[in-house]
Amino acid sequence: MAKSWLYRLFGAGRIPSGLRAKLEQEGVILLDEGIGGTITYKNFRAPGKAFGWKRQTFSGAVALTKVRFVAFIYGRQVINVLLDDPRIQQLQVTCVDGGQLQVVFDPAIFHDDWSGAVEVRLSTLYAPQLCTHLTA
């Protein structure tokens, strides 16, 4: 899949350099930057934010190492979970249309004062491999 135009022009959707070095130390299995995607909030509540329904498009990144799974939106991490963390079982991971990784979760598993549902869709060539690794 082609990289997003924001990535090509401005580098939006890169993994921050400090975290990228840490991911490389952990042993990168799959990594894709500058990918397009959407994040959808449903009945979402967080301090200072409330959405009945809201969808945003973004340029982001996804990485799977031997230790963790991470997803970024414009360099801001939205998912960061260790593979041996029990919370990873609460992520509903599916492959949509063969080229999109869909991750649905309750944000309360990461933040005690958040609620609702979050759906992240990432358009990546690695979607089938990520689904296989994360649902095994």
18-60 pLDDT, tens per residue?
899 999 999 999 999 989 999 999 999 999 999 999 999 999 9
- What tokens were used for 77? 């991490």
The fraction of the chain above a pLDDT of 90, given in percent, is 77
pLDDT of 12 reads 64
pLDDT of 63 reads 96
- What tokens were used for 18? 């400090």
Domain chopping of the chain, boundaries? 5-135
2 three-class SS: coil
Name which CATH class applies to 5-135. Answer: mainly beta
The mean per-residue pLDDT over the stretch 62-73 comes to 96
Q: Can you name the residues that pair with 36 across neighbouring β-strands?
A: 59
pLDDT band at residue 1 under the 50/70/90 scheme: low
**Beta strand segments in the chain, E:** 28-46, 49-65, 68-73, 76-82, 92-96, 100-105, 115-123
This prediction's pTM: 0.90
Going across the sheet that includes 68-73, the strands are 76-82, 68-73, 49-65, 28-46, 115-123, 100-105, 92-96
